[in-house]
């Protein structure tokens, strides 16, 4: 996440009020179709403990989700990588 996005997100939370918005807040880390459990845990840790992101993720560790999409080229070939991506 770049610094500008963090500032915008912080302003969003301040605008609506932290208590009001925290119950509806979650974080989605994208492009994780090829990440295994250990890699996802490392991404989660980096996100939680980054000095800038830590302000946003306070008390939100259980609301971090991972997302990915199947690579269209792998889909067309229906190869083993596609099954790995689907499993993740």
What are the tens digits of pLDDT across the range 3-29? 888 888 889 888 988 888 888 888 888
**29 and 67 Cβ atoms separated by less than 8 Å:** yes
Does 75 reside within a domain?
yes
Does 78 reside within a domain?
yes
Give the C-alpha separation, 16 to 60, whole Å: 17
SS3 at position 64: strand
Structural domain harbouring 50: 25-87
User: If you search the block for the tokens 């990440």, which residue do you land on?
Assistant: 35
Does 41 reside within a domain?
yes
- Categorize the per-residue pLDDT at 39 as very low, low, confident or very high, splitting at 50, 70 and 90: very high
The pair of structure tokens assigned to 13 is: 């939370």
pTM, entire model: 0.69
Domain count, the chain: 1
- Once rounded to an integer, what is the mean pLDDT over residues 39-68? 85
The pair of structure tokens assigned to 3 is: 């610094």
């Amino acid at each position: 996440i770049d610094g500008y996005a963090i500032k915008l997100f912080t302003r969003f939370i301040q605008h609506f009020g932290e208590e009001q918005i925290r119950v509806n807040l979650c974080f989605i880390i994208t492009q994780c179709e090829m990440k295994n459990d250990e890699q996802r845990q490392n991404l989660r840790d980096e996100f939680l403990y980054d000095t800038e992101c830590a302000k946003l993720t306070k008390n939100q560790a259980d609301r971090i989700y991972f997302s990915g999409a199947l690579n269209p080229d792998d889909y067309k070939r229906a190869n083993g990588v596609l099954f790995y991506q689907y499993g993740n």
